[in-house]
Structure 1
Amino acid sequence: MHLAASVSEFLDYLQSARRLSPHTVSGYRRDLTQFLDFCEQQHFRRPNDIDMAAVRHFVSQRRAGGTGGRSLQRQLSALRTWFNYLVKTGVCENNPATGIQAPKAPKRLPKALSPEDMEQMLASPDDDWHSQRDQAIAELFYSSGLRLSELVSLNSDDIQFQSALVTVTGKGSKTRTVPIGRLALQALKQWLKVRPLHCKDRSEPALFISQRGQRLSTRSIQLRLKNMAQKQGIYQPVHPHMLRHSFASHLLESSSDLRAVQELLGHANLSTTQVYTHLDFQHLSKVYDKAHPRAARRKKEPSAE
């Protein structure tokens, strides 16, 4: 089987059999296409032409070209998954990407707004319907820690006002139900009052709609949140995932319940949630000084004259 044909068959398998999201399949396609370009340069024609040395050469070439450790880890994961499929279907006898490690990526802490910045961002929305919709979006992001894709795909009947819950479909098509805060519920109720006036198609199920009455796109939400933050005097770039980070960080600072936050975020592994356990050192110092009976810093004694 030719390399390009095997990749195409693999992507079809991910979409039809494993039912991965279009976004995830697109990521696999991008990473494997880059590997196919490398294989063409090396005159590899079939999967069995590729050995561990070839995969190492690909990694080192990408590294020399400036690709970071995190991206290389992702690409190696895509290669391993692809070759596992080829072994399973009898195309290859072994997986040449097994055991090859990418350079470790530096651990980056997620950026989050402070509780004070969140209050500032969500304060005093305008009365026009765009602002009411955007307020409901921002409140829901921060209240329930949703991913952008989860919020975009929400329908009006996914909100359970009586029990203050929302059901979302996350990564791997897994559903979870998470609480909605009081202020987010108020913002959603206000938005749903005006939504019918701007939705021409009564059969449109989307919770958040655009000027044309259609489901709001991911790009539109990103731009609206950025503009909303700037209008409220927050000049660092604000994006949907930052509100999810803020939700997780603030919840952990208050509760320290890592397992609960894992469930709320929809993380499959606890290690993914642990990145949110960072706290500002000055905040920790203040808590320590205030709480520990022998930690209070002594006032500076006057110097002897």
Structure 2
Amino acid sequence: MHTPKTLNVTEQHQLLDALLSRDAPHKSFRKGIRNYLIGCLMLEAGLRVGEVVSLQMSHLYFAGKPVQNLVLTSKITKNHKERTVPVSTRLKNALEEYWTEHPWLNSIEGDTIAWDRLCGRNTLTTRQVERIINRAGWKGLGRPVNPHMLRHTFAT
């Protein structure tokens, strides 16, 4: 039987650090915070890449605060069954930092896709997220990493 590839704790930290890019210029720094949040959603909550790109603001925030549990509706899950995932401390912190660095989020409707730029245009695709995670794998670990590895890591 094939054992799924996972990341150990050190590799998880290295990958998340590579996603964050704290030393980048401000615009890239904001993207780094977004990418870090995406990585946390996969590592800390076990979300699939398709679920991540389909998340709405109302899945992540309530009244300007991070939710305590992610309620993934049947509309966005692969098997079309709703599931609830508790929000870890690291994920909560990532959600708070994302909100702080994107002050315009206050004016966005709850059913807006979380990664929309300019309220509705240029959403992230699954392929873009795959590339973001893969590049961070090369930068932080010196090897490729795919989003499903993060889900397997969460499950172990």
> If the TM-score is normalised by the length of the shorter chain, which range does it land in?
0.7 to 0.9
Instruction: Report the identity percentage.
Output: 27
SS at match of 2:79: helix
Q: Kindly state the Cα deviation for residue 163 of structure 1 after the two structures are TM-superposed.
A: 5.2
Structure 1 stretches of 4+ moved >4 Å: 160-163, 201-204, 210-213
Give CA deviations for 1:230-269 in whole Å, capped at 9, x if unaligned. Answer: 222x1221111100001111xxxxxxxxxxxxxxxxxxxx
CA distance in 2, matches of 1:207, 1:114: 29
User: In structure 2, do the counterparts of structure 1 residues 189 and 142 end up closer, same or farther at CA, with 3 Å as the change threshold?
Assistant: same
What's the counterpart of residue 145 of structure 2?
Answer: 238
Q: Kindly state the Cα deviation for residue 213 of structure 1 after the two structures are TM-superposed.
A: 4.6
SS at match of 2:99: helix
Q: Kindly state the Cα deviation for residue 210 of structure 1 after the two structures are TM-superposed.
A: 5.4
Match for residue 229 of structure 1 among 129, 133, 137: 137
Q: Kindly state the Cα deviation for residue 214 of structure 1 after the two structures are TM-superposed.
A: 3.0
What amino acid sits opposite 2:144 in the alignment?
P
The answer (yes or no) to whether the contact 2:135–2:144 under 8 Å persists in 1 is: no
The answer (yes or no) to whether the contact 2:66–2:92 under 8 Å persists in 1 is: no
Match for residue 186 of structure 1 among 93, 97, 116: 93
Q: Kindly state the Cα deviation for residue 229 of structure 1 after the two structures are TM-superposed.
A: 2.2
CA distance in 2, matches of 1:213, 1:195: 16
User: In structure 2, do the counterparts of structure 1 residues 192 and 163 end up closer, same or farther at CA, with 3 Å as the change threshold?
Assistant: closer
CA distance in 1, matches of 2:98, 2:46: 19
What's the counterpart of residue 46 of structure 2?
Answer: 145
Gaps in structure 2 of 5+ consecutive residues: 23-28
What's the counterpart of residue 133 of structure 1?
Answer: 34
Q: How many residues align?
A: 140
The answer (yes or no) to whether the contact 1:139–1:187 under 8 Å persists in 2 is: yes
CA distance in 1, matches of 2:103, 2:130: 23
The answer (yes or no) to whether the contact 1:206–1:214 under 8 Å persists in 2 is: no
What's the counterpart of residue 61 of structure 1?
Answer: none
| TM-score under structure 2 length normalisation | 0.77
What amino acid sits opposite 1:217 in the alignment?
T
What's the counterpart of residue 81 of structure 2?
Answer: 174
What's the counterpart of residue 164 of structure 1?
Answer: 68
User: In structure 2, do the counterparts of structure 1 residues 218 and 132 end up closer, same or farther at CA, with 3 Å as the change threshold?
Assistant: same
What amino acid sits opposite 1:208 in the alignment?
W
SS at match of 1:172: coil
The answer (yes or no) to whether the contact 2:66–2:95 under 8 Å persists in 1 is: no
Q: How does 1:88-107 map to 2 (within 5 A)?
A: 107=1
Gaps in structure 1 of 5+ consecutive residues: 1-106, 250-305
| TM-score under structure 1 length normalisation | 0.42
The answer (yes or no) to whether the contact 1:135–1:187 under 8 Å persists in 2 is: yes
CA distance in 1, matches of 2:8, 2:137: 13
Greater helix share, structure number: 1
Q: Kindly state the Cα deviation for residue 196 of structure 1 after the two structures are TM-superposed.
A: 5.0
